[in-house]
Amino acid sequence: MATLQKIRSKGTLLLIVIGAALLAFILGDAWKILRPNQGVVMVGEINGESVTAQDYQKELEKYSDALKFQNNISSFTDDQYNAVKDEVWNYIIRKSLLDKESKAIGLKVTDAEIEAVIQEGNNTLLRQTPFQNPQTGAFDVDNLMEFLAAYKELDRSQLPAEYLNNADQLYSYWCFIEDNLRQNRYLTKYLSILEASLVTNPISRKDSYETRAKRADILLATLPYSQIPDSLAGVTASDVQKLYNGKKQLYKQDVETRDISYIDVEILPSEADRAALLSEVTGYAVQLSDVNDEFASFIRLTESAVPFSEVPRTKDGLPDDVAARLDSVNGSEVYGPYYNVADDSYNAFRILSTVNGYDSIQYSQIQVVAATPDAVEKLADSIYNAVLKGEDMMELGLKYSQNATPQWISSAAYETAALSGDNATYVNTLNSMKKGEVRNLKLDQATLILKVTDLRNPVKKYNTAVVKRYAYFSNETSNDAYNKLSAFVAGNNTAELLNANAEDNGFRLLNNPDFTSYSHTVGGVSKSHDALRWVFDAKPGEVSRLYEVGEENDHLLVVALNGIHKKGYRPIDDVKAALQTEALKDKKAGILFEKFAGCNTASALRSVDGVRIDTVKYVNFISPSYISSTFSSEPLIGAAVYNLENGSFSAPVKGEGGVWVAGKVSDDTYASEYDDKDEAERIKSQIGRVIANGVLQELYNKADVEDTRYRNF
């Protein structure tokens, strides 16, 4: 019962401070509204099996609800929700791949295994749950079992709705955790099978140690590729084709991509808009000085970005520009209007009163629950009097199936909210109480027995009415911007024309090659999903309609589709530029090799025309070396000098920044003792990860995953 009691004790606080209703995504119901009498909607395909929108939505809701519960939030930002959607999609893919492989090899995860993981209590997922030991903070399996047993026995006809809601949320969260424990166990067992197939031998273990520990100081002579003009390289079409044939596997893409260009016009307030807003805030500043009550109504009328609260706030609970000016105000006079450049706003505020309080309050509470209002009142008086006579709040809480353990609340937990009514009464009551004081607090929604047990950090608090209006464009400014861009698009309605003429007409043209459907937005502009959907329904050369996008419809967006890259191998024309660069490097390397002919001493190397000499310390076999004279990282230097004798030089090597010759000046061994067992584990760990990632990638490639979520999500 401990966790249920904990939830119950926090139920009212959650109700009052955060709000009784947690918003949920209900897109599942939206399918019925938006697509009545239509067939099943698909969002993708994995291993030939379709993924329906309903199945995806179900997993999305489970994961979203779990994250909201875990982080004590009611909704996500657009970026957060997009990340959630991608993680759910990846989870569905992983589960599908593992399910298929598990069936093929007979891999199973039993309930007993999951029970053992829970009993052990060390899994990271378990440590994230509320089922923790209050003394150690570690996962407490007894706490979990008490909750699950109590949840099955809940009398839903007798318990408050908010208590049941919290219990249901916690139970759903636990089901989510348990499901993920099972999937993680499948993955762990599958990877352990792969790891078990790895063996090492004495030679590989010794080599692993020496390639890491043996190091050398070297002399490096480099002839940069930049010394040879491109015109002398003589790259032919057959050279490029040969490179393409050898590197074709590198140019395979798993998803379809598209090359787009777009114009994104941010609509900004005009000077006339700013003048009108300043005049409006000036009028509100005059009116604010005359208001004597109903401040909440007045602040709502001004459409202020800072809602009025009936609870005094610390400076930290107010905007920075307001907090910085609080001590400049005399009495209750109105300060402002003034402009704040940091958030582009026009402001005025009035301090209604100040109080001395505490930033943090430790308190206990018992919510009084009974069948009738009279019974609630009678029971509340009984508990209140018992506490006044010295009975322990925690023991009384247990008597009424509640956890009355003292808990802390800080100003930051509530002071940015617009508190009024019961909410304000609850918080103001706590703020007004002295250490050791007990109150019988009757609210419209609940009756509470409160006891303050400690107070920390004395602080001044301000009851303040703030008018903050962000500068925003008018309809006239928006229409002007729309008409200007619309007129341009009307006369440049092909990708070729739009790309050619945008800059000359004062519009900034942006390019996004290899644009993917899981980008979620075009150009990072929020609310641009319709434009993204258009990109993957359009044909090359087409130009989209003009979209009004952004959080505040403050962006105008038009997109041109320049090309499509289908899933599979990129054609040679798509990668010709990169191949041309590589072919030039090959041709130049051939010329530079000749300049190093016969140079196998330091003096001979220094005499080569155009050579650059570097001294590089602590080079080993496995680590690349950065060469400052050519601004390049050279991964082959360690291998080239590994078996050289001191004073000897390597053959010329085609590097990243030029052709080089490396000579070993001196060598030593990093001060670490060889441990055969540790080296075996190191090899297994390193190679195991590589093999595991390779196998999982190959499973993904063979699954022929199709992601069409963009059509509906």
User: pLDDT class for 39, splitting at 50, 70, 90?
Assistant: low
Structure token pair of residue 175: 């089901």
Q: Of 302, 297, 334, nearest to 418 (Cα)? A: 297
DSSP 553-564: S-EEEEEEEEEE
Token pair in block for residue 122: 């060390």
Report whether pLDDT(156) > 80: yes
Contact 11, 160 (CB under 8 A): yes
Distance, CA of 92 to chain centre: 19
Residue 508 identity: R
Chain-centroid distance, C-alpha 654: 41
CA 561 to chain centre: 29
Q: What are 336-394's pLDDT values in tens digits? A: 999 999 999 999 999 999 999 999 999 999 999 888 999 999 999 999 999 999 999 98
Question: What helix, strand, coil percent values describe the chain, rounded to 5?
Answer: 50, 20, 30
pLDDT band for 234, please (50, 70, 90 cuts).
confident
Name the strand (E) or helix (H) holding 543. none
- Phi, then psi, of 523 in degrees rounded to 5: 65, 20
Written as one letter, the residue type at 250 is L
Give tens-digit pLDDT for 282-341. Answer: 999 999 999 888 899 999 999 999 999 999 999 999 999 999 999 888 888 999 999 999
CB 562 within 8 A of CB 540: yes
Name 49's bridge partners: 46
pLDDT above 50 (res 514): yes
- pLDDT single digits (tens) 615-646: 999 999 989 999 998 999 999 999 999 999 99
As a whole number of angstroms, the distance between CA 138 and CA 132 comes to 5
Q: Determine the average pLDDT of the residues in 201-218.
A: 90
Q: Give me the mean pLDDT over the 445-455 stretch.
A: 92
Ordered alpha helix ranges (H), 214-358: 230-233, 237-247, 271-288, 295-301, 320-323
Whether the CB-CB separation of 503 and 509 falls below 8 Å is answered with: yes
Q: Is the alpha carbon torsion for 585, 590, 591, 593 positive or negative?
A: positive
Confidence band for 196, pLDDT divided at 50, 70 and 90: confident
Question: Tokens 């009307």 sit at which residue?
Answer: 490
- Which of these CATH numbers, 3.40.50.800, 3.10.50.40, 1.10.10.10, 3.30.980.20, describes 257-268+473-566? 3.10.50.40
Q: What is the pLDDT of residue 23?
A: 24
pLDDT category of residue 137 using cuts at 50, 70 and 90 = confident
Which residues are within 8 A (CB) of 318 and not within 5 positions of it... i.e. 6 or more apart? Answer: 306, 326, 462, 464, 466
Query: In sequence order, what E strands does 55-175 have?
Result: none
For 497, half-sphere exposure in the C-beta direction (CA atoms, 13 angstrom radius) is 9
What is the phi-psi region of residue 287: left when phi exceeds 0, alpha when psi lies from -120 to 50, beta otherwise?
alpha
Kind and range of the H or E element at 20? none
Q: Which of 710, 521, 711, 709 is nearest to 93 (CA)?
A: 709
DSSP for 28-63 reads HHHHHHHSTT----EEEEETTEEEEHHHHHHHHHHH
The token pair at 289 is: 């000085």
Measured between alpha carbons, how far is 432 from 57 in angstroms, rounded to an integer? 47
Give the integer Cα–Cα distance in Å for 392 and 368. 16
Q: pLDDT tens digits for 3-36?
A: 444 443 433 333 333 222 222 222 233 333 333 3
Is residue 629 within 8 A of residue 612, CB to CB? The reply is yes
Considering only 89-93, 273-277, 393-397, which range has the smallest mean pLDDT?
393-397
Query: Residue 90: what residue type?
Result: N
What is d(CA 4, CA 2) in angstroms, rounded to the nearest whole number?
6
Sign of the CA dihedral running 397, 402, 407, 409: negative
Count of residues making up the chain:
713
Q: Are 63 and 176 in contact (CB under 8 A)?
A: yes
Biggest CA–CA distance in the chain, Å, is: 106
CB 320 within 8 Å of CB 440: no
Query: Are 636 and 625 in contact, with CB atoms under 8 Å apart?
Result: no
Between CA 628 and CA 560 the distance in angstroms is 42
Amino acid at site 460 = K
**CA–CA separation, 77 vs 179, rounded Å?**
26
Burial annotation 524-559 (CB, 10 A radius, 16+ → b, else e): ebbbbbebbebbbebeeebbbebbebbeeebbbbbb
CA nearest neighbour of 637 among 209, 204, 221? 221
663-713 confidence digits (pLDDT tens): 999 988 877 788 898 888 888 888 888 888 889 889 998 999 999 999 988
Query: In the sheet where 49-52 sits, what is the strand order?
Result: 49-52, 42-46, 706-707
pLDDT at 244: 93
DSSP line for 659-672? EEEEEEEEEEE-S-
Strands 568-569 and 653-654, bridge-based pairing: unpaired
pLDDT of 402 reads 84
Report residue 307: phi and psi, to 5°: -70, 155
The amino acid present at 642, given as its one-letter code, is Y
What is the rounded end-to-end Cα distance, in angstroms, of the chain? 40
Q: How far apart are CA 115 and CA 108, in angstroms?
A: 14
pLDDT digits (tens, 9 = 90+) for 590-602: 999 999 998 989 9
Cα–Cα dist 328/47, whole Å: 68
Which are the contacts of 508, defined by CB distance < 8 A and separation ≥ 6? 263, 264, 502
Positive/negative CA dihedral, 652, 654, 660, 665: negative
Kindly compute the dihedral angle of the four CA atoms of residues 123, 124, 126, 127, in this order, to the nearest 10 degrees: 120
Q: Which residue has the tokens 């991964």?
A: 635
Domain 257-268+473-566 and domain 272-470, same fold? Reply is yes
The domains of the chain are located at 2-40+53-196, 200-214+678-705, 216-238+586-667, 257-268+473-566, 272-470
Assess contact for 67 and 32: CB atoms under 8 A.
Answer: no
Structure tokens given for 139 = 């996962």
Q: How many CB atoms lie within 10 A of CB 602?
A: 16
Torsion of CA 72, 75, 81, 87, to 10 degrees: 30
Q: Which two tokens mark 576? A: 């010709």
Residue 21 corresponds to which tokens in the numbers above? 């209703």
Average pLDDT over residues 572-587: 92
As a whole number of angstroms, the distance between CA 654 and CA 634 comes to 10
Class of domain 272-470: alpha beta
- Contacts of residue 278, defined as CB under 8 A and 6 or more positions apart, other chains included, come to 337, 339, 346
Amino acid present at 150: A
